[in-house]
Structure 1
Amino acid sequence: MERVAVLVMEMQRGVVGDLTKFPDLVAACDRHDVIANAARLLQAARRTGLPVIHCTAAFRPDRAGSHTGNCPFIVSLLKDPAHMLDGAPATEVLPELLDPGDLESRRHHGFSPFTGTSLDMTLRSLGVSEVVAVGVSLNLGIPGLALEAVNLGYRVRVVTDAVAGVPEEYARAVLKHTISLLATRTTTAGLVEEWT
Structure 2
Amino acid sequence: MGAQERLGELLDPAATALLTVECQRGVVGPDSALPELAQEARSSGALTNVARLVAAAHDAGVQVLHAVAERRPDGRGANRNARLFRAAERLPVQQLSGSTAVRIADPVPVADEDLIVRRLHGLSPIAGTDVDALLRNLGCRTLIVTGVSANVAIPNAVFDAVNLGYAAVVPADAIAGVPPEYTPAMVRHTLALVATVTATDEVLACWKRPHRPR
Shorter-chain TM-score above 0.5: yes
Could you say what secondary structure the match of 2:107 adopts? helix
Distance 2:72 2:178 in 1: 27
Distance 1:80 1:137 in 2: 17
User: Structure 1 residues 38-47 or 91-100, which shifts more?
Assistant: 91-100
Kindly provide the amino acid, as one letter, of the partner of residue 183 in structure 2: A
Name the structure 2 match of 1:91.
102
Name the structure 1 match of 2:145.
133
Q: Where does the alignment leave 5 or more consecutive residues of structure 1 unmatched?
A: none
The change in CA–CA distance for 1:184 and 1:73 in structure 2 (over 3 A counts) is same
Q: Is the 8 A contact 2:25 2:105 kept in 1?
A: yes
Deviation at 1:23, TM superposition (A): 1.6
- The alignment's TM-score, normalised by the length of structure 2, stands at 0.87
1:106 and 2:118 aligned: yes
The change in CA–CA distance for 1:172 and 1:89 in structure 2 (over 3 A counts) is same
Q: Is the 8 A contact 1:61 1:81 kept in 2?
A: no
Deviation at 1:191, TM superposition (A): 0.4
Name the structure 1 match of 2:3.
none
Kindly provide the amino acid, as one letter, of the partner of residue 161 in structure 1: D
Show CA shifts across 1:85-126 (max 9, x none): 100110111142122221111111111111221110000000
Q: Is the 8 A contact 2:33 2:92 kept in 1?
A: no
Show CA shifts across 1:26-58 (max 9, x none): 221222211211111111111110100001100
Q: Where does the alignment leave 5 or more consecutive residues of structure 2 unmatched?
A: 1-8, 209-214
Distance 1:95 1:29 in 2: 12
How many aligned positions are there? 195
Kindly provide the amino acid, as one letter, of the partner of residue 65 in structure 1: G
Name the structure 2 match of 1:177.
189
The change in CA–CA distance for 1:82 and 1:61 in structure 2 (over 3 A counts) is farther
Give the 5 Å matches for 1:112-191.
Answer: 112-191=124-203
The CA RMSD over aligned residues, in Å, is 1.4
Deviation at 1:80, TM superposition (A): 4.5
Distance 1:158 1:189 in 2: 12
1:14 and 2:26 aligned: yes
Distance 1:55 1:170 in 2: 23
Name the structure 2 match of 1:23.
35
1:33 and 2:45 aligned: yes
Distance 2:42 2:69 in 1: 21
1:77 aligned residue (63, 78, 88): 88
Among the aligned pairs, what percent are the same residue? Answer: 38
Distance 1:156 1:115 in 2: 15
- The alignment's TM-score, normalised by the length of structure 1, stands at 0.95
Could you say what secondary structure the match of 1:168 adopts? coil
